[in-house]
Structure 1
Amino acid sequence: APAIRLKAPRDGETVVPDLVQGEVRVANAELDDMIILRSDGTPTYLHAVVVDDHDMGITHVIRGDDHLTNTFRQRMVYDAMRWPAPAFAHIPLIHGADGAKLSKRHGAVSVLEFREQGFLPEALCNYLLRLGWGHGDTEIIDRDAAAAIFDLRDVGRAASRMDYAKLTHINGVYLRAADDDRLTRDVLARLEQPEWGIVAERVRALMPALKERAKTLVELAESAAFLGRSPPLPFEPKAEAALTPEARAMLADLAGVLAETPFDAPALDAALRAYAERTGRKLGQVAQPLRAALTGSLTSPPIDATLAALGRAEALARVRASAHG
């Protein structure tokens, strides 16, 4: 039960015109008599893939440049069968920041992991496209535009390095442009909240402001988490420090003002500015303790939008809870 080999030519060279690497040559003396049928009669991969591609009418084979050596062996099968070979394009590999082949230790390498880390699919596609291909200095290229101008001949030959900081930046650009309803659904899922009810209404109302600060969907969900909590809120250390006795007294006074103010962002902004001017405070001296009381943090979207999203009853409940310690 012998294995069947394909006799390789001994003289000359095999030339593969590659759409990325250019014309690649190898001396035939370096090619072995590769096995095409094992001793049990089953075909080897390098034999079967050629037959499969031929039968399916494959015109282009695009793969990593670590498969370039396989291409010369597959060409032997094409030539032996007198079949026209498809066009080949061998794409450089992606490396980590240390120059080594990308692996688990460099971070996410699975599409599902990128999703869990809060990256939008269109942002990841844009980043990976630009990782090995360029169109002038253009960084943000959506899929429709890329489909119109992409050409394999513009793919670089050198290996690229994965830069998560740049990916995160591009993701932030796409996040700010994304549909608010879509982002709201994702945030609610990450917060394990239903897509209806008061929390969903608050998240949707504040989404235009929330997404301006976030770089990933994880950050977006974290920044929206306070909208689903009830008093007493957990306070970050800096927020707790901002709630001094003087600040708590101010919040008690401010609650009365807010109770009489229409609960839309322009009216709330005007009321807070008027209160600050009337009490001889800077707006930040009013807004920061109020922000701490409302969110448990000193970072949030604009305070007027935050108040409006929470609504009168919830906002007053949080302010009064903080005012009374």
Structure 2
Amino acid sequence: MNNQVITRFAPSPTGNLHIGGARTALYNWLFAHKNHGRMVLRIEDTDKERSTDTALENILDGMRWLGLNWDGDIYYQSQFIKKHQEIAYQLLESGNAYYCYCSADELSKMKEDALSQGKSPVYNNKWRERLPNEIDKKIQPVLRLKTPLKGKTIINDKVQGLIEYDNKDIDDFIILRSDGTPTYMLASVVDDHELGITDIIRGDDHLNNAARQINICLLMSWIPPSYSHIPLIHSSNGTKLSKRDGALSVSDYKKDGYLAEAVLNYLLRLGWSYGDQEFFSINEMIEFFNIEKIHKSPARLDLKKLLNVNSHYLKEKNDDELIKLIFKSERILFDKKLEEKMKLIIPHLKTKSKTLNELSELIRYLYQERPIEIKEFDFNIYTPEINDLVTSFKLSLEKIDNWDLMIIRDLFDNFLVNTNTKLIDIAKPLRIILTGSIVPTGIYELLLPLGKAEILNRISDYLNN
């Protein structure tokens, strides 16, 4: 018998990969790696009307970006419909399922009557023990599972603990629709069995489904998987997440300049902790992760915290890796000279940035086309006094031959003495003239990667304006 742990992430390609799904994928991935097992990716694509290739690509791209690589091929639920139907008919033949000929009107009336009596609006088992007549047969039936009428269904959940359901409260749910297609409730269980899934880790909105699905396993004499139902992610005020709360897709966070490792670390700690440790390497995540330590209460999305986590990882990230990311995100053709320029300034600029987008914007001045577009500021650089000061600086710059940080520092020191001015009087207009904005770093460091020739050209553009 194979005792290998096998988890699964089973998204539906009806929408993008959002942070809740990404956290579920992360927990499945960590649990599998922690136990030297495998994580299967299964695409639950039986809803053909709502499933799209765009959503599927978004899910796959998001997982690849986060580094949550699955093991083996991708499984598509729609490819196994015949197997789902085969199991449904086995349940029918063994007396554990039956055809239901109720019309839509009958089911609506059944629901209304139950609610009027203060009962749960569940199916009343009308067709559980009866056969259809010729009139009944005019209706295309659905196939329902015969769930136990007495006793309890018990789930020993690794997160929620021991949960008991009275079987009288579990309805005879549909496993095959009237057109013969399987429902999610059946298809998911059959797929889990066929793929050898040992552990199901998913949102606690599926907890009631588990009580139904485990009965399919028991009626088929299958060993049920182990369940772990994790609390959902709520907004900062404790309500259900929406886009207004920042509940964006993973691709949106990527587009907004968040780093994959920062998003992973933040998601890890949304409902799980390891002492007071805030930041984890991938190896530490795997080593310390314990599914039973996931909190039972819903986690709250805190975008300020996510931004701070991202800022930490941005500052810690290797400069060469950051430069590669900037080239890619800015869609710049690789240029060795530009790369060398970036290396000179990026250690300073990344301390001023919280996202890759902010860093990319600050470093953009290095490769802007001339003439530099100068944004509007409260500070007016087009005055005779500034014009004269910048002209004098240009003359001083033209006289120097070599170029390094010390020479730039001496250039400014001598200029300030000779013109009897303060550093801010020349540094502020120079920042705007050379970058078009106010890049928040030391003026010496700002000038160094530009080089003498480019600085002279940009100053000339300003003076000739």
Q: Give the TM-score normalised by structure 2.
A: 0.65
1:40–1:233: structure 2 CA closer, same or farther, 3 Å change rule? closer
Mean Cα displacement is larger for which, 95-104 or 198-207?
A: 198-207
Quick one: which of 231, 234, 240 aligns to 2:373? 234
Say if 1:14 and 1:25, in contact at 8 Å, map to a contact too. Answer: yes
Extract unaligned runs of 5+ from structure 2: 1-139
Identity of aligned residues (%): 38
Q: Match of 1:271? A: 411
Give 1:135 shift.
1.3
CA distance in 2, matches of 1:298, 1:238: 10
1:317 lines up with 2:457 in the alignment? yes
| 1:269-308 superposed matches below 5 A | 269-308=409-448
Say if 2:434 and 2:458, in contact at 8 Å, map to a contact too. Answer: yes
Q: Match of 1:123? A: 262
1:101 lines up with 2:240 in the alignment? yes
Amino acid in structure 2 at the alignment position of 1:73: R
Structure 1 or 2: more helix by fraction: 1
Amino acid in structure 2 at the alignment position of 1:157: K
Mean Cα displacement is larger for which, 27-36 or 272-281?
A: 272-281
CA distance in 1, matches of 2:433, 2:143: 78
1:19 lines up with 2:154 in the alignment? no
Amino acid in structure 2 at the alignment position of 1:241: N
Say if 1:249 and 1:323, in contact at 8 Å, map to a contact too. Answer: no
Give 1:278 shift.
4.1
Give 1:108 shift.
5.1
Task: State the secondary structure of the residue aligned to 1:310.
Answer: coil
Q: Match of 1:163? A: 302
Deviating beyond 6 angstroms after TM superposition, the runs of 4 or more aligned structure 1 residues are: none
Q: Match of 2:207? A: 68
1:281–1:273: structure 2 CA closer, same or farther, 3 Å change rule? same
Q: Deviations over 1:120-157 (max 9, x none)?
A: 11110011111111112222112221111011111111
1:255–1:192: structure 2 CA closer, same or farther, 3 Å change rule? same
1:203 lines up with 2:342 in the alignment? yes
Q: Give the TM-score normalised by structure 1.
A: 0.91
Root-mean-square deviation (CA, aligned residues, Å) is 2.2
CA distance in 2, matches of 1:259, 1:49: 74
Mean Cα displacement is larger for which, 84-93 or 263-272?
A: 263-272
Amino acid in structure 2 at the alignment position of 1:289: P
Task: State the secondary structure of the residue aligned to 1:232.
Answer: coil
Mean Cα displacement is larger for which, 25-34 or 260-269?
A: 260-269
Give 1:242 shift.
4.3
Mean Cα displacement is larger for which, 191-200 or 137-146?
A: 191-200
Say if 2:433 and 2:462, in contact at 8 Å, map to a contact too. Answer: yes
Mean Cα displacement is larger for which, 301-310 or 274-283?
A: 274-283
Mean Cα displacement is larger for which, 305-314 or 36-45?
A: 36-45
CA distance in 2, matches of 1:208, 1:172: 13
Q: Number of residue pairs matched?
A: 325
Q: Match of 2:176? A: 37
Say if 2:433 and 2:459, in contact at 8 Å, map to a contact too. Answer: yes
Say if 1:272 and 1:286, in contact at 8 Å, map to a contact too. Answer: no
Amino acid in structure 1 at the alignment position of 2:220: M
Extract unaligned runs of 5+ from structure 1: none
1:235–1:41: structure 2 CA closer, same or farther, 3 Å change rule? closer
Give 1:206 shift.
2.1
Give 1:197 shift.
5.9
Quick one: which of 313, 317, 336 aligns to 1:174? 313
Say if 2:157 and 2:163, in contact at 8 Å, map to a contact too. Answer: yes
Task: State the secondary structure of the residue aligned to 1:85.
Answer: coil
Quick one: which of 101, 110, 113 aligns to 2:252? 113
CA distance in 1, matches of 2:359, 2:334: 16
Give 1:237 shift.
2.6
